[in-house]
A = this chain, B = another copy of it.
Amino acid sequence: MTKALTPIACCQPLAAPSLSEEELESTAALFKALSDPARVKIMNLLAQPRAPVCACEFEPALGLSQPTVSHHLKKLTEVGLLEREQRGKWAYFSLKRDAVDKLASVADLKGVCC
């Protein structure tokens, strides 16, 4: 789990005075995890009040096969955006509070430009 949390844990805001190579890589990895319409939809579904959401619900919502859905959920979890909780047969997913705050702060360039 520690490895999984690295990208989101380390990112500085885009407007930081300077970013290290590692921070550039991590920030790019964070955006890459979100660079797919199905993953944007997963984030959108998890931002609704009814989260956490069972993995089984994403399949009909996304119109994708179970392995594809699992792949997307894994990528978002690996980058630290989602929290995964096993309840019997199914895993349930929710947005991770730290990650959500970090994503907002990484992407916030207001006040520094333009």
B21 and A40 form a contact (CB under 8 A)? no
Give residues of chain A (7-44) contacting chain B, Cβ–Cβ below 8 Å.
14-19, 21, 24-25, 27-29, 31-32, 34-41, 43-44
The residues in A between 95 and 111 inclusive whose CB is less than 8 angstroms from any CB of B are: 95-97, 100-101, 103-104, 106-110
In the complex, chain B residues whose CB is within 8 Å of the CB of A46: 113
Q: Which residues of B contact A104 (CB under 8 A)?
A: 104, 107-110
Instruction: Enumerate chain B residues within 8 angstroms of A43, measured Cβ to Cβ.
Output: 14, 109
Check B41–A24 contact: CB distance below 8 A.
Answer: yes
Looking at A17, A43, A106, the one whose CB has the most chain B CB atoms below 10 A away is A43
Q: A91 near B: Cβ within 8 Å?
A: no
Q: Is A114 an interface residue (CB 8 A)?
A: yes
Q: Knowing A27-B40, A37-B28, A40-B19, say if A113 contacts B47 (CB, 8 Å).
A: yes
In the assembled complex, the CB of A82 is this many whole angstroms from the nearest CB of chain B, namely 10
